[in-house]
Homo-oligomer: A and B are copies of this chain.
Amino acid sequence: MSELRKDPVTGHTVIVAENRAARPDEFAPLAQSQRFVASDARATCPFCAGNEHLTPHSVAEYPRPSGEHPPRAESATNRDMSWQVRVVPNKYPAVDGGAESAVANRNPLLSPPGSEISPGTGRHEVIVESPHHLLRLTDLSDEQVALVFRAYRDRLAAAARESGLAYGIVFKNQGPAAGASLEHLHSQLMALPFLPLDVARELQLGVETHRRTGRCAMCALLDHELTASQRIVAVTPDFVALCPYASRVPYETWLVPSTHASRFDSCSENLANRLAQFARRLLICLETSMNRPDYNYLIRSAPFDTSPADHYHWRMEVLPRTTRFAGFEWGSGCYINPVAPERAAAELRVLAEPQSG
């Protein structure tokens, strides 16, 4: 029989139903979605070096760390290789800082009673993670991934300093099953003028838990999980990787700082570097274990207006996309997970162990 599990940190409910892994599937698996890889990708890809004119002007660029030599293939070209990571405003933003407001021109009588409407102000940026047409973060060196995570931290900090914004999130859509529309490896930052409902709910639960127990829910969880050890994937002096108790999808993995901290955007450059290295290592384990699945990852940090908070603990979530979001999920907000997190963690743990010999 399956189990209904409620997560102590997020409050969401998951049905862990391992029997469902055995059901037949007449359709092609999601993770093997058909891909279009154009042979002339470099000519048309807006994220490849040399095609900078295809995107809006960059808001930040990270050059190659000094002392590194460019790969041979590129040193022979004339292309602009001065950047290694490039951040640009999204050309098709879901929210933006524009002054023009369609809302102001709209007849307010057309909004139903009880509804709310506001202009979609905010920031929507793209972090281009390599000048080369590579498809996965794990194709990059540790040094390059460190630049990427430094960009995440810096751009989130920049959004936090802007007035009128309440919450920012960094996320990656890896592959079409995870919502990507371009294959050149990139992540996105979205900063919003309001606190999304799910975020507000988790914060509220954190405040209640802290009031009731005097502890941060995540700190208490880490203590418990490290003792129980059933769902631990890997541990470093700075981070714990675990499959959460109420994992929403098979092999969901959280990377959590061992020391309490509420804001990712105020972590040190050293810690961001070590997160980058740890994340790359974990993603390699996931790709090995699951045959290079599409996935989302995202970094959840406290809202911009919170000073260091005792009740919120930032984290990175990795969500492989091998199950499908269906009518039940639309109708309930619950998830059905056919792989118990204890099983997923055991498998990943073996892969994450340093190889002996």
Binding site for B on A (CB under 8 A): 1-9, 11-13, 15-17, 19-20, 22-28, 30, 33-36, 38, 91-96, 98, 100-103, 109-121, 169, 171-173, 176-183, 188, 190, 192-194, 196-199, 201, 209, 213, 217, 220-221, 224-225, 228, 230, 245-246, 296-298, 300, 317, 319, 324-334, 336
| Copies of the polypeptide in the assembly | 2
Question: Chain B: which residue is nearest A27 at the CB level?
Answer: B176
Given known A-B contacts A92-B23, A93-B17, A330 and B171 have beta carbons under 8 A apart: yes
- Specify which chain B residues have a CB less than 8 angstroms from the CB of A300 in the assembled complex: 331
A220–B298 CB distance below 8 A: no
6 nearest A-B pairs in the assembled complex, by CB-CB distance? A179-B326, A171-B327, A2-B120, A198-B333, A8-B114, A196-B332
Question: Chain B: which residue is nearest A198 at the CB level?
Answer: B333
Report the Cα distance A20→B181, complex, angstroms: 11
A92–B22 CB distance below 8 A: yes
Of A190, A245, A331, which is in contact with the most chain B CB atoms at under 10 Å from its CB? A331
A115–B5 CB distance below 8 A: yes
B328–A325 CB distance below 8 A: no
Report the Cα distance A193→B7, complex, angstroms: 17
A8–B119 CB distance below 8 A: no
B120–A11 CB distance below 8 A: no
- Specify which chain B residues have a CB less than 8 angstroms from the CB of A169 in the assembled complex: 327-328, 331-332
Report the Cα distance A31→B62, complex, angstroms: 38
- Specify which chain B residues have a CB less than 8 angstroms from the CB of A27 in the assembled complex: 33-36, 176, 180-181, 183
Report the Cα distance A188→B11, complex, angstroms: 26
Report the Cα distance A7→B36, complex, angstroms: 37
- Specify which chain B residues have a CB less than 8 angstroms from the CB of A23 in the assembled complex: 91-92, 181
Report the Cα distance A102→B317, complex, angstroms: 28
CB of A357, distance to nearest CB on chain B (Å): 33
A118–B331 CB distance below 8 A: no
- If A179-B324, A192-B334 are given as contacts, then 6 extra A-B residue pairs at C-beta distance below 8 Å, sorted by A number, are A1-B100, A6-B116, A13-B194, A27-B33, A115-B246, A199-B331
B176–A28 CB distance below 8 A: yes
CB of A46, distance to nearest CB on chain B (Å): 8
Report the Cα distance A5→B345, complex, angstroms: 39
Q: Which of B35, B110, B179, B330 is within 8 Å of A296, CB to CB?
A: B330
Report the Cα distance A183→B24, complex, angstroms: 11
A327–B173 CB distance below 8 A: yes
6 A-B contacts (beta carbon < 8 Å): A4-B119, A4-B192, A6-B117, A27-B34, A190-B332, A296-B326
